[in-house]
Structure 1
Amino acid sequence: MLQHPPLPVIAIVDDHPIVIEGLKNLLTSETPFEIVSFTRGSQFLDYLKTNNADMVLLDVVLPDMTGLELCAAVKKNYPEITVLAISNQAERSIISQMLQNGASGYLLKNASADELLDGIENGLKGETVLSPAVKEILSRPSPNDWNGIPVLTKREKEILRLISEGLSSTDIADKLFLSQLTVETHRRNIIQKFQTSNMFSVIRLALEHKII
């Protein structure tokens, strides 16, 4: 009997089941791939211990680690796997860091189906995949409007340090004997002080300026 070559394996790592289902439906109807999916980065790393994947479609925001960390771990231990980030995060610094960590491309979640399918095909060929929107973001000059180091309270520094260590708001609340609402309020205040839109950028800037 004629043996058919195994289908390429595409892994999806995203913490939103509805996104996973949408991607699965698109890929199974349009492409000859085997699809596996995970909602946590640790699940995917466990899977790779005994299974192979040709490509991972990776979200930046995950419940147990950042997509940046997962990308770096995958490329360090399984360099042959192609990482393609698919995210709502449109910050220049996050896109750049993902590419520096070894991703072959970055698409925003508002990309069209054709854009995604072309990206997967080109990524598997070893090409760099950047949607027009991402190219436009990367072409902008680096923002220089972050003036001075924001002044954080002792509690804000403590919470920021714990966030950088990967603790959730619930974990931090338990550890510091605070309510989760109080922790979330501190998070919002910290982001506001850094004049950015998300905690990824805050942590990068805080490390860069040795605040934590």
Structure 2
Amino acid sequence: MNKQIRLVIVDDHPIVIQGLRSVFMNNAHISIIADFNLGKDLTDFMATNQVDLVLLDGMLRDGNGMDLCRKIKMISTDTYVLAFSHSNERSTITQMLHNGASGYLLKNASVEELTYCIYKTLNGEVTFSKAVKEALARPVSSDLKRVPELTKREKEVLGLIAEGKTTTLMAKQLFVSPLTIESHRRNLLQKFEAKNVASLIHLASGQGLFRSTV
């Protein structure tokens, strides 16, 4: 990383905050600039401070993380949100993504996995811990709709999107130009009627399309 990441933790368990502070104490690239137990305290802080990434718990004493995630993105579209929760419910995960989160991790993630996901998020990628990928890979019958007809290459691109690969990396792996990858990405968004990549992942995972890719 070329600059130090300004990280804020929002969690209603002091021991979690203390543990995360210990984890990143000697990390030269990540600086925890504040921590809060309440969502209101975070939004007040963001009104006058620049935040690169919020590590956000799913449940807080004054509300839930899903609603707070939406407020964070309304305050600052440049601030990334990475959900950090005990819940592996697909509905919670997908709703967090719909509200603007760039990724979702369970609190049983390792330090290495958490750190890796933070870096990937700041690189503009949608990222999940291994346990969350497994949860998303289990289709729910109530979510199933008609699966769009995809070409072989679109399926390959969709799988790489699920892995959080950038356009450049996908182009290199598939031996095509970045413009071709962007064309496939647009086609996928159109076929799934998705507004963004997070919504695309939500819809495709609901149809069980990531069982072999995540």
Q: TM-score, normalised by structure 1?
A: 0.63
Matched, 1:15 2:2: no
Out of 92, 95, 104, the residue aligned to residue 94 of structure 1 is 92
- What's the counterpart of residue 104 of structure 1? 102
Matched, 1:37 2:35: yes
- What runs of 5+ residues in structure 1 fail to find an aligned partner? 145-212
Q: In structure 1, the residue corresponding to 2:63 is in which secondary structure? A: coil
C-alpha deviation, 1:77, in angstroms: 2.0
C-alpha deviation, 1:23, in angstroms: 0.6
Superposed CA RMSD in Å reads 1.4
CA 1:76/1:132 → structure 2, altered by over 3 Å: closer, same or farther? same
Regions of 4+ moved over 4 Å: none
- What runs of 5+ residues in structure 2 fail to find an aligned partner? 143-214
C-alpha deviation, 1:27, in angstroms: 1.2
Q: Residue type matched to 1:142 in 2? A: V
Cα shift readout 1:81-104 (whole Å, capped 9, x = no counterpart): 010000001100000000111100
Out of 14, 21, 25, the residue aligned to residue 24 of structure 1 is 21
Cα shift readout 1:5-53 (whole Å, capped 9, x = no counterpart): 9732100000001000101111122343221100100000000111110
C-alpha deviation, 1:119, in angstroms: 0.5
Number of residue equivalences? 140
- What's the counterpart of residue 71 of structure 1? 69
C-alpha deviation, 1:58, in angstroms: 0.2
- What's the counterpart of residue 189 of structure 1? none
Q: Residue type matched to 2:16 in 1? A: V
What is the CA–CA distance in structure 2 between the aligned matches of 1:45 and 1:57, rounded to whole Å? Answer: 14
Larger Rg: 1
Q: How does 1:28-177 map to 2 (within 5 A)?
A: 28-35=25-32, 36-144=34-142
Identity of aligned residues (%): 46
What is the CA–CA distance in structure 1 between the aligned matches of 2:100 and 2:48, rounded to whole Å? Answer: 22
C-alpha deviation, 1:65, in angstroms: 1.2
What is the CA–CA distance in structure 2 between the aligned matches of 1:38 and 1:143, rounded to whole Å? Answer: 38
What is the CA–CA distance in structure 2 between the aligned matches of 1:107 and 1:6, rounded to whole Å? Answer: 24
What is the CA–CA distance in structure 2 between the aligned matches of 1:136 and 1:8, rounded to whole Å? Answer: 28
Q: In structure 1, the residue corresponding to 2:84 is in which secondary structure? A: strand
Cα shift readout 1:103-157 (whole Å, capped 9, x = no counterpart): 000000000010000011111111111111111111111154xxxxxxxxxxxxx
Q: Residue type matched to 1:72 in 2? A: R
